[in-house]
Chains A and B, each alone.
Chain A
Amino acid sequence: MSVKKAAAVGIRWAVELADGVQDLAWSPDGRWLASAAVSGPISLIASATGDVSREWRGHGGGTLKLAWSRDNRWLASGGQDGCARVWDPDGGGEQRRLAAGSDWVGGVSFSPYADLLITAAGKELRAWNLDGQLLRATQPHASTITDLAWHPRQPLLASSAFGKMHLWDWRSLESPEERTLPHPSSLLNARWSPNGRFLACGCQDNNLRGWTWPDTENFQMSGYLTKVRVLTWDRTSRWLATADREIVTVWDFAQGPPMGKAPLDFEGPLDTVRDLAFHPSRPWLAAGDQGGHLLVWDLDERGYRLLWQGTLRGGFQRLAWHPQERLLAVGGEDGTVAAFEFTR
């Protein structure tokens, strides 16, 4: 690992895990970083020291997704074995094994409003209580569910799929109300703006699409060279950063969806971008690519500037900012997990 322009940035810790990183998730209290390897193993790393405190075998065939409960008590994982698992970070190991479906479990998400875990396996959503009881299975979607996203202020869960965004109103736990928003494209991901006014999706057909909320006017931004794989909103809901291949494009939503307006294109020595992440409280945008370049920009009213640039042998897979600190966790293709501390 090497660091350039690193005057204000240091490596707090770095660990080498067994296999390439598939997903990273900070516990809401910032105490743990959970890392899932593409071949299955799940590791819990202590944020302060970098000690790997727990190592679990994870899912047969591979682990796909991690999610923490709001109260930090549980870590959920979804995998290629058709199961979701619930883990106890304080030494209890695997607590629950949930039969989420016959397909890959690509989505796991705890409700911010109730003790409820949602799993997405193939075309089906299932809702579980924390005792592992199945509360409800939804009607199958028309195609595989690609992402889950809770509205930041309402008990609304968005699930994206080909041709449709489904919105589930979980005020009634037993039978959520469903609303579908049609879109003639494969929606790859779903991201609510932090103010809850916009729901944005990257699409397979090289467009960024979405809806305003609650009036559900749809918007579309074109000009991408490839499918839009990653999206991230900044804390203020003004900036939406996206990436297609090696170009990071940032849209300004200050006046609503910026259709027809030019975005900011961030130039940089970037290879295919693997992940983007806005810091939870600062206007810092991090981008990691498959060639191992990491760039962090600082955005403000006047524009943007490069804050820091680093590299990682083997290429990046995932980036995750610590929920409170100025600490950026990165996960690499070769199994490296590291935390960069921004002291300035």
Chain B
Amino acid sequence: MLTNAADPRIPVTVLTGFLGAGKTTLLNRILTEQHGQRIAVIENEFGEIGIDQALVINAEEEIFEMNNGCLCCTVRGDLIRILGNLMKRRDKFDRILVETTGLADPGPVAQTFFMDDETKDHLRLDGIVTLVDCKHVAQHLEDSAECREQIAFADTLVLNKVDLVDGAAVDALETRLRAMNGLAKIQRAHMARVDLGQVLDLGGFDLKRALDINPAFLEPEYPFEWGGWYALPAGESVLVLEDGPDPEMSVVLLPVSEHDALAAAREVAVELFAAAAVAAQPGDALEPGARHYRLRLAAKPGFKHFPLRPNAAGHVALFTQHHPDEFALRVLVPNSQPLQPIYAHAYNPGHIHDDSVSSVGLVEERPVDPFKLNRWLSDLLRDKGADIFRMKGVLHLADSDNRFVFQGVHMLFDGQADRPWHADEPRVSQMIFIGRHLDRADLTTGFRACLD
């Protein structure tokens, strides 16, 4: 049996996803696969489990507030009752799976594991698995706050039904979901066929994983998504764009020396993006220099040309508000051949399309003062808890040789000492926040103030 040795509590996996995303298929798969675990299932009222399983309990979601009027402190009353009863026969199973209804906000389910002392004493929320119907999720993301929250809350996102859409669309979907939730493992699946190791036993939080899948995750946010460094030849080069998702786009072009190139120009570009823009219609010339251009792309359908002047050879850095691929943006040299940048970099944009749901990761090497941290988190969650969906961390506490792990949901958080740090392991504190309207600078300042 797979268990977390540091924590004797029974693990609970929560399965969310819109109707038709494949929750029941995955549930049946988990129950039939040979993993050596005995699983108790709490399914929603519409569930249909086709397995003759002794411990399947039907639940009708009943949500109530824990404290007067605090919407963040809602819990699932039915789960408290059912889990309380299951705990009296905990010798009968090793793990619990909770399936939610398609339209469920995962908040109250997750909060139940933090708010109710009886549940918290005996059970731990191992992970939230969200199934995504690749074909229909784009529409759900537009229409439904619940869908966005299901994505934001997930520890694992299963992109199901990949066979129904083409590969490029799945790639684009994955990029979009990662921008919303930088923490989740992403699995692609057909008929909900996934590696169960990616679905069960998600207990460990590993920021390195988040960094591996999203390198821009720890970086500050920039007002541009992309920067490229070009060596322009003599003669008239042209910036060419096609129709894209936005009728306008901001760009900054800066002359750079051969040595500092992109990194040095970046800070200047940040300032220019904040300054007033000069409108440019297709055909207008763009001059590298201290100017923020707003390209009016809707003025002309199809290809849009912006000549780059003066026509002298030299190095320039180009920063674009959106990724060039979205507009098929390229630089053409005088013989109309496309020019590849010497170096290019994708930046973490300060805005996200999906209702501002984003992730912020923090890493600090100096030990954390637990009292300061507690005070900071309490204040932060009191003020911003409604917008913070999830929070996870592994901390290097002053005066402790053990890792300290914690996680939180909205205004609630809960932590405990974990295994000792390994001798060859760098002692660093890692934290991640997933939520709406997160302010990276604020979170960084706040966390740094907690260092010993």
Q: Does A20 contact B (CB under 8 A)?
A: yes
Closest residue on chain B to residue A102 by CB atoms: B60
Known: A122-B60, A205-B67. A38 touches B117 (CB 8 A): no
* Pick from B67, B81, B88: contact of A317, CB under 8 Å: B88
Q: Does B62 contact A (CB under 8 A)?
A: yes
Closest residue on chain B to residue A38 by CB atoms: B88
Report yes or no: B77 in contact with A162, Cβ–Cβ below 8 A: yes
| Residues in A13-40 with C-beta less than 8 Å from chain B | 19-20, 22, 38-39
Report yes or no: A144 in contact with B117, Cβ–Cβ below 8 A: no
A194 to nearest B CB, angstroms?
Answer: 28
Q: Does B121 contact A (CB under 8 A)?
A: yes
Report yes or no: A38 in contact with B77, Cβ–Cβ below 8 A: no
Q: Does B57 contact A (CB under 8 A)?
A: yes
Q: Does A103 contact B (CB under 8 A)?
A: yes
A274 to nearest B CB, angstroms?
Answer: 10
Report yes or no: A20 in contact with B89, Cβ–Cβ below 8 A: yes
Closest residue on chain A to residue B80 by CB atoms: A204
Q: Does A292 contact B (CB under 8 A)?
A: no
Q: Does B118 contact A (CB under 8 A)?
A: yes
Known: A227-B116, A229-B118. A184 touches B68 (CB 8 A): yes
Q: Does B85 contact A (CB under 8 A)?
A: yes
* Pick from A19, A143, A226, A245: contact of B62, CB under 8 Å: A143
Known: A38-B85, A38-B88, A38-B89. A272 touches B62 (CB 8 A): no
Residues on B with C-beta less than 8 A from A182 are none
Render B19-43 as a binary contact track against A, CB cut-off 8 A, 1 for contact. 0000000000000000000000000
Q: Does B69 contact A (CB under 8 A)?
A: yes
Q: Does A119 contact B (CB under 8 A)?
A: no
Known: A104-B81, A184-B69, A317-B88. A144 touches B62 (CB 8 A): yes
Q: Does B66 contact A (CB under 8 A)?
A: yes
Residues on A with C-beta less than 8 A from B67 are 205
A193 to B60, CA, bound (A): 33
A243 to nearest B CB, angstroms?
Answer: 12
Q: How many residues of B contact A (CB 8 A)?
A: 21
Q: Does A80 contact B (CB under 8 A)?
A: yes
Q: Does B343 contact A (CB under 8 A)?
A: no
A275 to nearest B CB, angstroms?
Answer: 13
Closest residue on chain B to residue A334 by CB atoms: B91
Q: Does A186 contact B (CB under 8 A)?
A: yes
Report yes or no: B69 in contact with A245, Cβ–Cβ below 8 A: no
A22 to B81, CA, bound (A): 13
| Residues in B74-131 with C-beta less than 8 Å from chain A | 75, 77-78, 80-81, 85, 88-89, 116-118, 121
Report yes or no: B64 in contact with A61, Cβ–Cβ below 8 A: no
Residues on A with C-beta less than 8 A from B69 are 184
Report yes or no: B116 in contact with A204, Cβ–Cβ below 8 A: yes
Q: Does A289 contact B (CB under 8 A)?
A: no
Report yes or no: A186 in contact with B60, Cβ–Cβ below 8 A: no
Report yes or no: B77 in contact with A144, Cβ–Cβ below 8 A: yes
Closest residue on chain B to residue A225 by CB atoms: B117
* Pick from B78, B81, B89, B117: contact of A227, CB under 8 Å: B117
Range of interface residues on chain A? 20 to 34
B49 to nearest A CB, angstroms?
Answer: 14
B289 to nearest A CB, angstroms?
Answer: 62
* Pick from B81, B85, B88: contact of A144, CB under 8 Å: B81
B85 to nearest A CB, angstroms?
Answer: 7
A144 to B69, CA, bound (A): 19
B117 to nearest A CB, angstroms?
Answer: 4
| Residues in A63-119 with C-beta less than 8 Å from chain B | 64, 80, 103-104, 106
Residues on B with C-beta less than 8 A from A163 are 64
| Residues in B333-370 with C-beta less than 8 Å from chain A | none
B65 to nearest A CB, angstroms?
Answer: 8
| Residues in A38-71 with C-beta less than 8 Å from chain B | 38-39, 61-62, 64
Report yes or no: B89 in contact with A39, Cβ–Cβ below 8 A: yes
Residues on A with C-beta less than 8 A from B75 are 204
Report yes or no: A186 in contact with B88, Cβ–Cβ below 8 A: no
Q: Does A333 contact B (CB under 8 A)?
A: yes
Residues on B with C-beta less than 8 A from A144 are 62, 77-78, 81
A108 to B16, CA, bound (A): 35
Report yes or no: A186 in contact with B117, Cβ–Cβ below 8 A: no
Report yes or no: A62 in contact with B85, Cβ–Cβ below 8 A: yes
* Pick from A143, A205, A245, A333: contact of B88, CB under 8 Å: A333
Residues on A with C-beta less than 8 A from B78 are 144
B356 to nearest A CB, angstroms?
Answer: 32
Residues on A with C-beta less than 8 A from B121 are 272
* Pick from A19, A103, A226: contact of B60, CB under 8 Å: A103
Residues on B with C-beta less than 8 A from A62 are 85
A236 to nearest B CB, angstroms?
Answer: 31
Residues on A with C-beta less than 8 A from B85 are 38, 62, 64, 80
Closest residue on chain A to residue B69 by CB atoms: A184
Known: A227-B117, A272-B121. A20 touches B66 (CB 8 A): no
Report yes or no: B62 in contact with A227, Cβ–Cβ below 8 A: no
A227 to B78, CA, bound (A): 16
Report yes or no: A226 in contact with B77, Cβ–Cβ below 8 A: no
Report yes or no: B57 in contact with A245, Cβ–Cβ below 8 A: no
Residues on B with C-beta less than 8 A from A104 are 81
Report yes or no: A186 in contact with B64, Cβ–Cβ below 8 A: yes
Residues on A with C-beta less than 8 A from B116 are 204, 227
Smallest CB-CB A-B distances: 7 pairs:
A226-B117, A38-B88, A162-B64, A20-B88, A184-B68, A38-B89, A205-B66
13 pairs across A/B with beta carbons < 8 Å?
A: A19-B89, A20-B88, A22-B88, A61-B57, A80-B57, A80-B85, A143-B64, A163-B64, A184-B69, A186-B66, A204-B64, A204-B66, A226-B118
Chain B residues proximal to chain A, CB less than 8 Å: 57, 60, 62, 64-69, 75, 77-78, 80-81, 85, 88-89, 116-118, 121
Extra inter-chain contacts (12) besides given A104-B81, A184-B65, CB under 8 Å:
A22-B88, A80-B57, A80-B85, A103-B60, A143-B77, A144-B81, A162-B62, A204-B64, A205-B68, A226-B118, A227-B118, A229-B118
